[in-house]
Amino acid sequence: MWYNRLSEYLLSKDYVNNAICPCVFIKKSSSGFVIIAVYVDDLNMIGTQKEIDDARTHMKEEFEMKDLGKTKFCLGLQIEHFQDGIFVHQSNYTKRVLKRFYMDKATPLSTPMVNRSLDVEKDPFRPCEDNEEVLGPEVPYMSAIGGLMYLANCTRPDIALLLICLQDIVRPLRADIGME
């Protein structure tokens, strides 16, 4: 109901949206533009200052709303505003993932990803031998990969390739993650 009422109102004020992205409303004018992104009952506005001010004024006339200022946190993303732009990151999420998997006290290292080898004996992605110990259920390996994939999809594409390789090891050996 709320979305329908909001949508009708915005469309009556010359905002446009489409079936592909019905939660985003855009209005362009000779003085600028405003984009309103709707998430449940929260609205995020970006655009030129005059158009944002006009949109805010019109919305407050029609709906009971509270202006919370600049967005600092949205859908797991942290947003920092600066004079010359914004910085989007997931520091809090990263800390929670590290803590969940008992890695919050780990020392970060700059290590390149291991290259695959044509020598089967040296390939880290080869099938395990009978004498190699498979990592047990005490380490929720796939949950850790999933948590890090969310991070890679949002703000850290630099770790995506490594995670794709790691998810191929469905049952890692203790040696695969440095526990030997």
pTM score, two decimals?
0.65
Per-residue pLDDT of 53-92, as tens digits, reads 999 999 999 999 998 989 999 888 899 999 998 999 999 9
**Mean pLDDT (the chain, rounded):** 83
Q: Give the structural domain span for 46.
A: 2-69
Per-residue pLDDT of 89-135, as tens digits, reads 999 999 999 898 888 888 877 766 666 555 656 665 566 666 666 55
Q: Quick check: is 32 in a domain?
A: yes
Q: Quick check: is 153 in a domain?
A: yes
Q: Which distant-in-sequence residues (6+ apart) come within 8 Å of 72 by Cβ?
A: 78, 79, 80
Q: In this structure, are 159 and 126 located in the same domain? A: yes
pLDDT score of 4: 92
Burial of 32 (C-beta count, 10 Å sphere; 0-12/13-18/19+): middle
Q: In this structure, are 99 and 161 located in the same domain? A: yes
Q: Quick check: is 139 in a domain?
A: yes
Per the model's pLDDT, the better-predicted residue between 171 and 58 turns out to be 58
**pLDDT at residue 51 above 90?**
yes
Domain count, the chain: 2
